Amino acid sequence: MLTGKRILLIVTGGIAAYKALELIRLLRKAGAGVKVVMTRAAGEFVTPMSLAVLSGEEVHTDLFSLKDETEIGHIQLSRAADLVVVAPATADILAKMAAGISDDLATTLLLATDKRVLVAPAMNVRMWFHPATRRNLDQLSRDGVLTVGPDAGEMACGEFGPGRMAEPATIVEAIRAALAENSRPALTGPGTALIDAPGPLSGRHAVVTSGPTHEPIDPVRYIANRSSGKQGHAIAAALAALGCQVTLVTGPTRLTDPAGVDTIHIESAREMLAAVEAALPADIAVCAAAVADWRPAIEAGQKLKKQPGGALPPDIRLIENPDILRTISAPGPSRPALVVGFAAETEQVLDHARAKRARKGCDWIVANDVSTGTGTFGGDDNAVHLIDADGTDSWPAMTKQAVADRLARRIADHFAAPTTKDSA
């Protein structure tokens, strides 16, 4: 519990500012008192009234408030708390903190405080990876500032990767840890592993496949499927957030390449196999792409035309595509230590997935139901079953990013304990 603890919460101007409302609610439920300072930009996303109602305290916004400053209010605010928390912590305020700039109430009290400071970064993924942000966070870490998050996932702008503010419940746990420790260790999340400490998959290389493949009939038409690539791209981002070097081989999608990931774009199954084999060796392979099983035996050099007089359409003879999952699962010096396949099924999901795992020779299979009405293909949610040598772990329906985060953590746990029963 946090009974009797005093938290000074600084809310800055990012889309994640709305999460500060839930953070306040959880802190008060745990027994903490919360005073809130918000920047002018934060007012574009949440209102002082909302923050005041939830905190039960006046919200402070102005460095030059006559009432407060006659009593040196910014000094009192900075010293009265047990912990100062900045959530969300935008790239702007992190830069100001690293440089020691104090040009408003929030930055002034951060410079004046003698208490520990915990930041929850939240920004666009490209900003998170920018060298200036890396330098600023490195400096703040040396200054003793604690960090929680950010999480990896889909951004409001549509990009993938680390940059989403940690969930309020996670921040509360980081606050508990910060108040419980007398020393000043860095509290790191997936993103901060890139600068403060190795992530759990640091030093590992993963190859991830994503999206559909397009198998050409002629220069205009092709055989494909409904895969959006959302699950595979999310997995690549989640692995990268845990410190893994990731090569993403993707078929045609409308998605932005995940930041911090080496992305290779292909069209056909044969191109995907060649790209995967070129990316080896790897410790991990996650085959999340929906690869076309067949392709036309002959690709017409010109667009096939309708024939006059109601003639029958041309016959298109199909031949089998290379089996990427079975190829890289085969024993040999280049086989990844862990190979994870996907089974998109429309009926008898578990039976077909177990049979596929045995037939392909992979270590794990992630099975899901993609039948009409599930909304899995192209949607944002997924319900999967993770099948390994010891059985089946059925996960509840969740977002595809949550599936990716959970799978990445499961992979990290596998390598942290190589003798675990997950080994095939």
Task: Say which CATH number the domain at 210 has.
Answer: 3.40.50.10300
- Among the candidates 159, 175, 194, a domain finishes at 194
Residues 139 and 73 in one domain: yes
Q: Are residues 369 and 404 in the same domain?
A: yes
Domain boundary among the residues 172, 194, 216 is at 194
Residues 390 and 392: their CA atoms lie apart, in Å, by: 7
**Dist CA 107 CA 101 (whole Å):** 7
d(CA 6, CA 80): 8
Give the count of domains, the chain. 2
- Cα 99 to chain centroid, rounded: 29
In this prediction, residue 372 carries a pLDDT of 59
Query: What band does 152 get if pLDDT is binned at 50, 70 and 90?
Result: confident
Is residue 385 located within the same domain as residue 242?
yes
In a domain, 301, yes or no: no
My answer on whether 220 and 166 are in the same domain is: no
User: In 3-state terms, the chain is what percent helix, strand and coil (to 5)?
Assistant: 35, 25, 45
Task: Inform me whether the pLDDT recorded for 183 exceeds 60.
Answer: no
| Assigned domain for 304 exists | no
Instruction: Tell me the Cα Rg of the chain.
Output: 26
Domain that holds residue 153: 6-194
Which residue numbers are catalytic?
Answer: 157
Same domain, 186 and 264: no
- Whether residue 401 contacts residue 390, with contact meaning beta carbons closer than 8 Å, is answered with no
Token pair for residue 23? Answer: 């953070």
Claim to verify: residue 153 and residue 25 sit in the same structural domain: yes
User: Average pLDDT, stretch 312-317?
Assistant: 84
Structural domain contains residue 98: yes
Establish if 99 belongs to a structural domain.
Answer: yes
Give the residue-averaged pLDDT of 21-36: 91
CATH number at residue 109: 3.40.50.1950
Q: Is 423 domain-assigned?
A: no
Is the pLDDT reported for residue 344 higher than 70? yes
Tell me, yes or no, whether 366 lies in a domain: yes
Q: What is the value of pTM for the model shown?
A: 0.58
d(CA 35, CA 171): 16
Contact status, residue 82 vs residue 55, Cβ threshold 8 Å = no
Please tell me whether residues 62 and 209 are part of one structural domain. Answer: no
| 239 and 371 fall within a common domain | yes
Q: Is the bond preceding 88 in cis, omega lying within 30 degrees of 0?
A: yes
Alpha-carbon distance values, 419 to 199, 413, 416 (Å): 20, 11, 9
Q: Domain check: are 189 and 228 in the same one?
A: no
Residue ranges for the binding site? 293, 303, 322-325, 342, 356, 360
Which pairs with CB-CB distance under 8 Å and at least 24 residues apart come from 25-29? 25/54, 25/168, 26/168, 26/169, 26/172, 27/2, 27/172, 27/175, 28/54, 28/55, 28/56
CA neighbor of 124 nearest in space, from 75, 87, 158, 82: 158
Of the three residues 128, 162, 194, the one that is the final residue of a domain is 194
In a domain, 134, yes or no: yes
Question: Quick one: average pLDDT of 376-403?
Answer: 84
Annotated binding site for CTP: 293, 303, 322-325, 342, 356, 360
**Is the predicted pLDDT of residue 77 greater than 60, yes or no?**
yes
Which of the four pLDDT bands, split at 50, 70 and 90, describes residue 188? very low
Q: Are residues 185 and 215 in the same domain?
A: no
Residue 199 counted as domain residue: no
* CA distances for 52 relative to 57, 65, 120, 140, 350, angstroms: 5, 17, 21, 29, 51
Q: Is 86 helix (H, G, I), strand (E, B) or coil?
A: strand
Closest CA to 282 of 243, 328, 324, 213: 328
Same domain, yes or no: 182 and 103 = yes
Using N-to-C axis directions, what is the helix angle for 91-99 and 105-112, rounded to 10°? 40
Same domain, 242 and 316: yes
